[in-house]
Chains A and B, each alone.
Chain A
């Protein structure tokens, strides 16, 4: 994420100035209108992608926000005679409120699947449309907006004024999308897109971010609708809330590449231009069909969209990348081992339906120790980790870190308190590079780092886990061993107080296991306390200071690894009763 290089910035600036100068230069009104429609679709598709493209929550309800902005503007300017430019912010506000209201309700659903979100937003559109149709806002007669006085930017030419408004909205939404895609918010949204649960556990406030993106997306759509209200001149509910807007913004974004800030704009230009070419004249019906056919082919052949595919092709050329200087990393003095508890789990209970996964588990993790957590499959080890990281809500009991209750906090807040975990099956963010995976964890993991210090920290831990050469790769290009180490790097970069390792060794070969064990020791030497869930007893005995054995959702025994392993009850759990005697 480099800063703006001067040359492209200059280029973009001069293109904008040139476009802005066109009406003054006496462009025929026909072209102004054609270009206005381009701006309109670019702005609308770009605004849609801020939530739906970046975070992957496809909305079919963009017409609701667009229409809310349209009708708000029409109502204010026509019936209340508010000046047009003063009505636009209100339009944005109304649309933003609608989006925030919907988001605040639906994003609370724990199991909100993507298609359900799509249909919910579609349903809301129908409801908004019905309300507007049956209230005096429209009343079924439509609203005439062609007489609304426009600001006199170019005195003799209303179409020139509309053109300029369209240009401003278009450039503005592109700038916002560009800024979001490079910001902390954008990083969080991309992570939500790839794996929302992991994003939350890595410290991304997923609910807030989705809500922010949805509100922003709705607000821009509201402004676009406000400007468009004067362009169309006459508003009807069926045109405004029809299927056209949600359909085209989705298709434009998917065609261009919804995950890239410029993708929707590219798709919008292509589709708007081809619609114009094919649908002028009598062949409109066939034209629509042809556009649909082209889209099907494009979606089947380029599922990622044009812009990301092209960028990938460009990137394939060998790039000589200067390795960043190994900036000095602030080394913490490793706190000594002590008996002071870091984590205290007390009587934690959890059931799923009728299954009691945890029946009152208590344990504590002391400063600087490695606690081995063992037990047969299904004994509740991973569930316990999920409870500590806040992935599941507590049914009962308490979890405290450094004396502070975290049992009912959201997962991202717990992550920011210095608890990090790895997943048994690595779950990297598939759309982010290895470096960005680690940067994201550092950014949201409560390190307080930013800019160059953040990059240096990320590079440091990539080097520590032996992944320095893979920084620019995507996770799919890593083997299992490397993916497990990427999990570790993501956890370590946050400098956790407490590190929860869920079967990091499973699936590794003996040489890889030895290097992983050495790595875990090195991590402890940096001052972290570690909970180490593992089936491989050799590693448990080698690494752990203490061991806790779980069985059927309760702790069975705890203490020195060698002694615990000889405990008859533990032997019985692992090998059956007959062996005890």
Chain B
């Protein structure tokens, strides 16, 4: 059994990792829950964002925080364009999965073509900076990622809960035809939400660039865990995605410390399978 300090430290890094999971899961959860579109391309988009932040930072020396401001509107427009294709071709939940899978492969090819298949690491002076709290170290960048994840999750929740647009979106997710009969222009709203989801991918991508190693094939590495987060957190529930992300991140990190790093992937999927089979009321 590892020492308590080690356990505490791995719990902290797990929670931080969970923030990153939640950040990626957020856009996926919203589009799946509220638009009934399973956007596999979300991962590819996040990595495209990550590579752009990396490229802007290393080649043109643009600070990552400014890079995000440039990428977010571009991605917002991309999200709306993609949704326009979905609307024109009346893409269903299942076809969306297949089409966005194709999009992911295309993005992966583009990434590999431009940046090659090599692993890349964006070195910034933020990396390696940690806060020391008692016996524990809290990595600065991961902490920011977690704070941003909490902020975005809460803001999305509040947006859905209290604003007209949010209520209209939830009504549309329940029953699009009835919502339309009450005068909700759900097409306009769905474009807005698609744009927002893509913008979330950009934000997530920036943090992926800052804290993790980049390679085109890494797109698929996140897929399983993040889907587990989305489902455990309930589709379309931003706060649920945040909590589920933290739960999975912490569980994985503790498993790495207690059992062995090689077995960590089993943890999130076992949690997912157990929850799916148990089907608690809140899921």
Contacts and interface: CB of A to CB of B under 8 A. Distances in A.
Contacts of B8: none
A299 B99 contact: yes
A115 B38 contact: yes
A243 B220 contact: yes
A300 B89 contact: yes
A130 B266 contact: yes
A105 B277 CA distance: 8
A301 B265 CA distance: 38
Nearest to B273: A123
A472 interface: no
Contact of A126 (B105, B110, B269): B269
B99 A289 contact: no
Interface stretch (B68-76, B148-156, B223-231): B223-231
A489 interface: no
A300 B99 contact: yes
Contacts of A303: 92, 95
Contact of A116 (B231, B260, B270): B231
Q: Classify the secondary structure of B's interface with A.
A: helix
A134 B263 contact: yes
B109 A288 contact: yes
Contact of A295 (B91, B92, B102): B102
Contact of A127 (B89, B106, B270): B270
Given A288-B109, A299-B102, A126 B224 contact: yes
A536 interface: no
A557 interface: no
B133 interface: no
Contact of B109 (A242, A243, A292): A292
Contacts of A299: 95, 98-99, 102
A123 B266 CA distance: 9
A485 B92 CA distance: 30
Given A242-B220, A247-B105, A251-B101, 8 more contacts: A119-B272, A122-B223, A126-B269, A130-B262, A288-B109, A292-B106, A296-B103, A299-B98
Interface of A: 58, 105-106, 109, 111, 114-116, 118-120, 122-124, 126-127, 130-131, 133-134, 242-243, 247, 250-251, 254, 285-286, 288-289, 291-293, 295-296, 299-301, 303
Interface of B: 32, 38, 85, 89, 91-95, 97-99, 101-103, 105-106, 108-110, 112-113, 220, 223-224, 227-228, 231, 260, 262-263, 265-266, 269-270, 272-273, 276-277, 279
26 contacts: A106-B277, A109-B276, A115-B32, A115-B38, A116-B231, A119-B272, A120-B272, A120-B273, A122-B227, A126-B224, A126-B266, A127-B265, A127-B266, A134-B260, A134-B263, A243-B220, A251-B98, A285-B113, A289-B110, A289-B113, A292-B106, A293-B102, A296-B99, A299-B98, A299-B102, A301-B89
Q: List 7 A-B pairs, minimum CB-CB distance, nearest first.
A: A289-B109, A292-B105, A296-B102, A123-B269, A292-B102, A300-B89, A289-B106
